[in-house]
Homo-oligomer: A and B are copies of this chain.
């Protein structure tokens, strides 16, 4: 399931590391620190140590310090980190200030929910929604979501109105086709919520992230069966 490139940090001038080449685990964790910091700020807490932050984020304190040092977010020895400063730095790196445009292929229930759940108010705008079902064309499934075009019309629509992120929530049998159309239209970031492994040409730098809820349940089902047989060791959170 994991077919990750090297993706490892690339040395720069003075032995420093470009924050444009963060290790994948670091990038994912950095995005996870943001809600923790926002929560602290809401509670009026101005500063926190790496130990406190790491505890809340569910990571090791050393790894958190290392992650932050990658992006030049420095704390103060003996004191800790400034919450507001960290939020600013992280937002800058993750570009969460900027609004991203998203197109959604597959107006399935899951697709619509993703749209409603993540699409609004947090830096993402759903610019277009596509589906194979011609009956849906022209209807409005969510308030503010502009159009629904048939899957066939994706190419031209995306050419006229480019998006940065494509979400694939089609039926399994349409997933690869939707992917191909997105890629051909120049979309370089894809979120795939189908269980299909998407094939993208190796030429352009396409980033695909896959979330497979059925697979998550499968894994839990395995553990459910095991827990009766063997009362067992201690295990913990695995983040998708």
Which residues of A are interface residues toward B (Cβ below 8 A)?
1-7, 20, 24-25, 27-29, 31-32, 34-36, 56-60, 93-96, 98, 100, 102, 109-110, 113-114, 116-118, 122-124, 164-165, 172, 188-192, 195, 197-198, 200, 202-203, 205-227, 229-240
Copy count, this protein chain: 2
Q: Which of B113, B216, B227 contacts A191 (CB 8 A)?
A: B216
> Which B residues are CB-close (under 8 A) to A122?
214
A113: chain B residues at CB < 8 Å are 109-110, 113
CA A98 to CA B224, docked complex, whole Å: 11
Chain A contact residues: helix, strand, loop or mixed: mixed
Tell whether, in the assembled complex, residue B116 and residue A227 are in contact, meaning their CB atoms are under 8 Å apart.
Answer: no
B27 touches A221 (CB 8 A): no
Check A240 against B210 for contact (C-beta < 8 Å).
yes
* Alpha-carbon distance between A118 and B29 when the two chains are bound, in angstroms: 27
Is the Cβ of B5 less than 8 Å from the Cβ of A222? no
Quick check: A229 and B20 within 8 Å, CB to CB? Answer: yes
